[in-house]
């Protein structure tokens, strides 16, 4: 039996690595290499990876940038050839990890032909290539800080990596009292030409290209030295390009080895200030970065929310081996590229491709690196202390693999979390250790790590979850039915609205190892957890586990049975909503995966805890932290805020250029849908309209999606208010339609929003299924769709024992549509309308609803049918209860 105790014993069996590694005695005895990437943002040259080569004797590092990982053999060969040309000799040993990019036949044949010995690390022992991996990490940490300090766009990450490598090659080593540059090139290094990355500069415009009335110089930003030419690499914001300039004037005060620039030096130039502004909101705009939004780092909520991983999914500058040249017409790279869902995400240091076998325990790369010629920068200057603090905060991202967890600064906390998870699994008798039957395939297992934060963004818990890689399951063999109900957002909001009205006590909690409570009927075999392997056996699962295709269904069936036995009744309106009535006491419960939301008036059933908002009778829903993750993931943290989520003239915009890959678009739409359906009705129409292009989006569509994100970023503090004590109307609805605005198919958009006790609990916007011949017809269909939602909400309110005042008021801004509901006369104008839409007449006759007119400017549903201007949107947004609590 696989138990917590023997797993801990097994973990101690891993051999430690020797702290003293053999040191090369001569120059070019040993070169080590490693790959880093992929980055989320392409560099200005279009790269997503970089590869490092470290000559161990000198410690000198060369960096080269790649668009694809398949370029590794070419880069290695180019590096070796450059060594032969420069020094007239070959290296003796070339060392890397066992990645296929290094072990492929092309590279191996070349190394054999050159007489170079190839050494690779043992599987799952990255310590043996620790110098190269540590170098990649050091370069990225330096580049991250440089970009943050300079406030430059993130697609300049490669320029930052290149400059970091340039500087580190010129830092004195403790072991030799020389710089790697001096040992490698056998010549003295003079410290006279160092500058702060991102410094403002003025560069002279060549006379050959400058017209008579043009300025003699322009303003740019210094982004490094060029490796092939004697000049400076300068980022020009106007053209969003990087060019090499020789005649440059620095205006920062920290030029190392030089005196501060005097004012009179600049007088000889006529300066043109560059602008990096985004176009007016009313026009189509490029999503660009601004340089001055991020302020000096402080110990604040904003800094704690910063996600350093977003910074280093980018791309590089010119290579140290071979200059690829600068494309002045290079199109701005996409800010975020999504990998396939089933693929492993890559950390800053690229991992080997690996099976779920034993991973290394706590790895000590530091000692090996220090004894292998690692250079040091000495004590950090006092004026960079703030950035040292920022660096500590910003590197605290969540690990994505077991390897990353045990190499992170929080490794002790992650190990404790994994131990706790294993203990819970063993205590719940979740499995037994068996031999894998012939003909069966074991499902993979994987660790998922998460830091749980409070509402202020402070970490309160480290959680590790062992999940099954259920995508490898086979239908009919190890799973059958998978359906599990999910609660509707409207039910959740209605429960809070009712709780606020009745002053209920409300509590939310999660059930630890929830999926382990369900017994599995199928015969499923699981590979042993990474880091906890004992032998070649597998785990026969007895209980359900996160990640299995049937896990949610098994858990739902289990919790349903428990609740029914405890006296709860399942609602007919929502299968995840349960009611328990005890004489004059009521209790309501909602299930969402393994989270439980329970509300009621009885302190013996609920908890004694009562929130402050509950006392006030109001509840608010806010998704600020989730919005921050969307913004950070889209690399739009520094982008210009937007006052509207969608261009008012979107349907008039024409863009025939489709995106080659729609993965990023689909991912962003999915995240925005989650926000729009839960707390932000003000973006619902924009997300709905753009989601219709998810199959073949254009560049314009992607820009509009990013506009929504910029709008959310500027309004992320807004909250949805539920249940206002001054509202006596139980249910009230608004309905509207936007007739035939979509030029592609001329179909109309419907929208409705419903309030209970003054709080918006239900809203929807969708394209109608058929073309309406008039605005009246479109409004009539929209009213019918709203009526369907009203009937469902009425049934749900009855489960809450809410006394509904009939008829329920529905407000619309089209007189003709209202008359059409009231009239039973035959009309040529309406005879073609599908019969299903006429059921609204029956509902009205029964006294369930009453249609009333509301002026168009006061119809809250108007924002659910089309894009609005900033002033009108703000008015309707606030009327819907999306407000700033401050």
pLDDT digits (tens, 9 = 90+) for 826-869: 566 666 676 677 789 889 989 999 999 999 999 999 999 999 99
C-alpha span between 865 and 375 (Å, rounded): 61
Q: Structure tokens of 211?
A: 């017209």
Q: Looking at the chain, how many residues does it have?
A: 886
Q: Residue with structure tokens 């996160």?
A: 546
Contact criterion met (CB below 8 Å) for 594 and 552: no
**φ/ψ of residue 604, rounded to 5:** -75, -25
Element (H, E) at 202: strand 200-204
C-alpha span between 659 and 439 (Å, rounded): 43
Cα-based distances in Å from 526 to 444, 446, 561: 6, 10, 27
Q: Identify the three-state secondary structure at position 369.
A: helix
pLDDT at residue 40, as a whole number: 85
pLDDT at residue 787, as a whole number: 94
Domains and CATH numbers, the chain: 30-184+335-384 (3.30.420.10), 410-617 (no CATH), 624-884 (3.30.420.10)
C-alpha span between 90 and 490 (Å, rounded): 70
DSSP 436-478: PPTT--PBPEEEEEEEEE-TTS-EEEEEEEEEE-GGG--BTTT
pLDDT at residue 788, as a whole number: 93
C-alpha span between 665 and 680 (Å, rounded): 20
**Tally of CB atoms within 10 A around 441:** 15
C-alpha span between 386 and 239 (Å, rounded): 32
Q: Residue with structure tokens 């003239």?
A: 649
Q: Structure tokens of 463?
A: 């959680």
Q: Identify the three-state secondary structure at position 752.
A: strand
- Please return the burial class of 58, using the count of CB atoms within 10 Å of its CB with bins 0-12, 13-18 and 19+: buried
**φ/ψ of residue 655, rounded to 5:** -145, 110
C-alpha span between 102 and 72 (Å, rounded): 7
Number of continuous H segments (helices) and E segments (strands) in the chain: 24, 29
In degrees, rounded to 5, the angle at the alpha carbon of residue 671 between the alpha carbons of residues 670 and 675 is 115
C-alpha span between 524 and 548 (Å, rounded): 10
C-alpha span between 446 and 528 (Å, rounded): 9
Q: Are strands 445-453 and 431-434 parallel, antiparallel or unpaired?
A: unpaired
Note the pTM of the prediction, 2 decimals. 0.45
User: Which among 85, 34, 696, 80 is positioned nearest to 365, based on CA atoms?
Assistant: 34
Contact criterion met (CB below 8 Å) for 336 and 633: yes
Q: Structure tokens of 527?
A: 């590979």
Catalogue the long-range contacts made by 844-847 (C-beta closer than 8 Å, 24 or more residues apart). Answer: 844/807, 847/806, 847/807
Taking 70 as the pLDDT cut, the residues of the chain under it are 1-22, 122-128, 174-175, 190-192, 208, 252-397, 455-457, 476-478, 510-517, 603-618, 655-656, 723-729, 824-832, 834-835, 886
C-alpha span between 395 and 372 (Å, rounded): 25
**Tally of CB atoms within 10 A around 809:** 18
In degrees, rounded to 5, the angle at the alpha carbon of residue 778 between the alpha carbons of residues 777 and 781 is 85
DSSP state of 399: P
pLDDT at residue 21, as a whole number: 54
Contact criterion met (CB below 8 Å) for 881 and 720: yes
Q: Identify the three-state secondary structure at position 220.
A: strand
pLDDT at residue 333, as a whole number: 39
pLDDT at residue 178, as a whole number: 86
Contact criterion met (CB below 8 Å) for 639 and 710: yes
Contact criterion met (CB below 8 Å) for 669 and 693: no
Q: Identify the three-state secondary structure at position 224.
A: strand
Contact criterion met (CB below 8 Å) for 315 and 66: no
């Amino acid at each position: 039996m696989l138990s917590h105790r023997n797993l801990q014993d097994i973990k101690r069996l891993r051999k430690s690595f020797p702290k003293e590694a053999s040191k090369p005695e001569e120059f070019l005895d040993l070169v080590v290499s490693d790959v880093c990437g992929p980055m989320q943002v392409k560099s200005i040259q279009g790269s997503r990876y970089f590869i490092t080569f470290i000559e161990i004797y000198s410690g000198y590092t060369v960096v080269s940038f790649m668009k694809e990982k398949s370029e590794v053999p070419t880069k290695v060969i180019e590096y070796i050839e450059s060594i032969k040309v420069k020094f007239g000799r070959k290296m003796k040993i070339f060392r890397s990890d066992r990645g296929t990019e290094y072990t492929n036949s092309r590279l191996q044949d070349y190394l054999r032909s050159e007489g170079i010995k190839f050494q690779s690390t043992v599987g799952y022992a990255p310590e043996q290539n620790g110098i190269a991996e540590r170098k990649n990490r050091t370069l990225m940490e330096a580049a991250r800080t440089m970009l943050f300090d300079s406030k430059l766009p993130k697609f300049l990450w490669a320029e930052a990596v290149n400059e970091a490598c340039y500087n580190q090659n010129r830092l004195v080593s403790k072991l030799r009292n020389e710089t790697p540059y001096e040992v490698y090139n056998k010549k003295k290094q003079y410290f006279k030409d160092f500058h702060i990355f991102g410094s403002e500069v003025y560069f002279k415009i060549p006379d050959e290209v400058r017209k008579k009335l043009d300025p003699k110089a322009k303003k740019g930003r210094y982004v490094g030295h060029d490796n092939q030419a004697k000049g400076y690499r300068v980022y020009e914001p106007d053209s969003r390009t990087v060019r090499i300039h020789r005649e440059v004037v620095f205006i920062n005060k920290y030029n190392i080895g030089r005196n501060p620039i005097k004012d009179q030096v600049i007088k000889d130039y006529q300066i043109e200030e560059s602008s990096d502004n985004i176009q007016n909101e009313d026009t189509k705009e490029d999503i660009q970065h601004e340089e001055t939004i991020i302020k000096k780092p402080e110990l604040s909520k904003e800094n704690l929310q910063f996600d350093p991983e977003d910074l280093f999914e980018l791309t590089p500058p010119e290579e140290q081996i071979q200059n690829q040249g600068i494309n002045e017409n290079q199109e701005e790279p996409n800010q975020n590229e999504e990998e396939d869902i089933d693929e492993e995400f890559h950390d800053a240091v690229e991992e080997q491709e690996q099976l779920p076998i034993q991973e290394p325990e706590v790895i000590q790369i530091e000692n090996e690196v220090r004894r292998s010629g690692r250079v040091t920068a000495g004590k950090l200057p006092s004026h960079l202390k703030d950035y040292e603090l920022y660096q500590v905060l910003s590197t605290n991202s969540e690990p994505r693999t077991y390897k990353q967890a045990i190499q992170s600064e929080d490794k002790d906390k992650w190990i404790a979390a994994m131990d706790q998870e294993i203990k819970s699994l063993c205590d719940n008798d979740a499995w037994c250790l068996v031999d894998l039957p012939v003909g069966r395939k074991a499902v993979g297992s994987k660790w998922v790590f998460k830091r749980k934060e409070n509402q202020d963004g402070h970490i309160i818990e480290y959680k590790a979850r062992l999940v099954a890689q259920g995508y490898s399951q086979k239908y009919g063999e190890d799973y059958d039915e998978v359906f599990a109900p999910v609660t509707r957002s409207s039910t959740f909001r209605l429960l809070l609205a009712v709780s606020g009205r009745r002053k209920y006590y409300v509590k939310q909690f999660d059930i630890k190892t929830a999926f382990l409570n369900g017994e599995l009927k199928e015969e499923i075999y699981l590979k042993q957890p990474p880091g906890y392997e004992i032998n070649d056996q597998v785990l026969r699962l007895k209980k359900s586990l996160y990640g299995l295709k049937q896990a949610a269904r098994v858990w739902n069936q289990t919790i349903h049975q428990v609740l029914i036995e405890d006296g709860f009744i399942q609602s007919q309106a929502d299968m995840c909503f349960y009611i328990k009535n005890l004489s004059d006491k009521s209790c309501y419960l909602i299930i969402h995966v393994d989270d439980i939301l329970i509300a009621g008036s009885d302190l013996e059933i609920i908890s004694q805890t009562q929130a402050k908002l509950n006392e006030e009778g109001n509840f608010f829903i806010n998704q600020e932290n989730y919005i921050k993750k969307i913004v950070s993931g889209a690399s739009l943290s520094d982008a210009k805020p937007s006052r509207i989520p969608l261009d008012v003239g979107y349907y008039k915009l024409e863009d025939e250029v489709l995106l080659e890959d729609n993965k990023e678009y689909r991912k962003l739409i999915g995240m925005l849908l989650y926000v729009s359906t839960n707390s932000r009705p003000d973006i619902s129409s924009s997300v709905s309209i753009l989601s219709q292009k998810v199959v073949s989006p254009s560049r314009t569509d992607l820009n509009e999606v990013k506009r929504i994100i910029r709008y959310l970023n500027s309004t992320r503090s807004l909250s949805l208010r539920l249940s206002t004590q001054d509202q006596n109307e139980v249910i009230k609805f608004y309905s509207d339609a936007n007739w035939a605005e979509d030029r592609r198919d001329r179909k109309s958009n419907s929208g409705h929003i419903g309030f209970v006790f003054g709080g918006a609990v239900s809203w929807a916007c969708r394209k109608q299924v058929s073309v309406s011949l008039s605005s009246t017809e479109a409004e009539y269909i929209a009213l019918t769709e709203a009526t369907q939602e009203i009937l469902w909400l009425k049934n749900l309110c009855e489960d809450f024992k809410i006394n509904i005042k009939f008829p329920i008021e529905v407000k619309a801004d089209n007189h003709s549509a209202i008359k059409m509901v009231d009239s039973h006369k035959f009309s040529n104008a309406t005879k073609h309308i599908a019969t299903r839409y006429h059921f609204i007449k029956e509902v009205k006759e029964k006294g369930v609803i009453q249609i009333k007119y509301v002026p168009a400017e006061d119809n809250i549903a108007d924002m659910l049918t089309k894009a609005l201007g900033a002033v009108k949107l703000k008015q309707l947004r606030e009327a819907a209860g999306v407000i700033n609590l401050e």
